[in-house]
Structure 1
Amino acid sequence: MTPPRRRLALAVATFAFAGMTITGCGALSQAVDCNTAAAEVTTIMNEFNTTAATAATDPKALETAGKEAGAKVKTLAGNYDGEVGAALNDLATGLEGIKIDGSDPAGSMESVSKLQGFITKIQQACS
């Protein structure tokens, strides 16, 4: 694996796990929603991370993994209203939009680095 691909694989792994613990929900019903959403998103992102780690040398497989994870998050988002549902939909869009171009590692990093922003948005919806 070339150094840019190693960096890309590391970035995917880092952002897949970064901030997945969603806490600080105010009301009891929102806390239940947030805890349930956090657990389900964590499972989906762990699956994505595992696939991403094995597909680090195959950009198309990584994009496919993003699309599959995005579809799962989109399905999950259908179970939630308000900010939590909107934040989950944004994460799904981000996952589905991962584009990997071996000739443009910086551009590839941009699509992956956006994932942290979507995860932060979920956390904010639960605070």
Structure 2
Amino acid sequence: MTPPRRRLAVAGATLTLAVLTTACGALGQAVDCNTAANDAAKIATEWSSTVTKDAANGDAVEAASKTAETKTKELAGKYDGEVAAALNDLADGFGSIKGGDLSSITEFSGKVNGFTSKITAACS
């Protein structure tokens, strides 16, 4: 191979490697984001089930909210950037629920879809 062809071959190989690395990184991010969104949805579903079952028990609601807050913060610690920020916002929402305050539960329940959408948007 002549020197110009060799340079073109090296440049082509470098470009191919860069594209493949970027594609794998994007794929990895998509998988991570999907996992983050699914895990957050599981936490929200567990919280919702507990609150629905024990809505009259303020202590149970507060305990479920604290557990969901802790789990969501742990999940946020696995990510960075907008995904972590969205998960931390969700955790703060769980943390805002105190006792059997039905108005805070209702308000937060209305915001859960917004938090999930924010997580999904951070992944795109």
Answer yes or no: same fold by TM over 0.5. Answer: yes
Report deviation, 1:93: 0.6
Specify the alignment match of 1:14 in structure 2: none
Structure 1 residues 39 and 79 mapped into 2: Cα distance closer, same or farther (>3 Å)?
same
Q: Give me the whole-angstrom Cα distance separating, in 2, the residues matched to 1:106 and 1:43.
A: 23
Q: Give me the whole-angstrom Cα distance separating, in 2, the residues matched to 1:62 and 1:115.
A: 16
Structure 1 residues 95 and 107 mapped into 2: Cα distance closer, same or farther (>3 Å)?
closer
Unpaired stretches in structure 2, ≥5 consecutive residues: 1-25
Helix, strand or coil: the match of 1:98? Answer: coil
Q: Deviations over 1:75-121 (max 9, x none)?
A: 0100001111110111011011123555xx54552233233322221
Q: Percent identity?
A: 49
Contact 2:97 2:104 (8 Å CA) reproduced: no
* Larger RCO, structures 1/2 (Cα 8 Å, 6+ apart): 1
Q: Give me the whole-angstrom Cα distance separating, in 1, the residues matched to 2:103 and 2:70.
A: 25
The count of corresponding residues between Structure 1 and Structure 2 is: 99
Q: Does 1:85 align with 2:84?
A: yes
TM-score, normalised via structure 2 length: 0.68
- The structure with the largest helix share of the pair is 2
Moved over 3 A (4+): 99-102, 105-108
Q: Deviations over 1:22-78 (max 9, x none)?
A: xxxxx3122011111122222222221221121112133212211110110100100
TM-score, normalised via structure 1 length: 0.67
Q: Give me the whole-angstrom Cα distance separating, in 2, the residues matched to 1:76 and 1:63.
A: 20
- RMSD, aligned α-carbons: 2.0
Larger Rg: 2
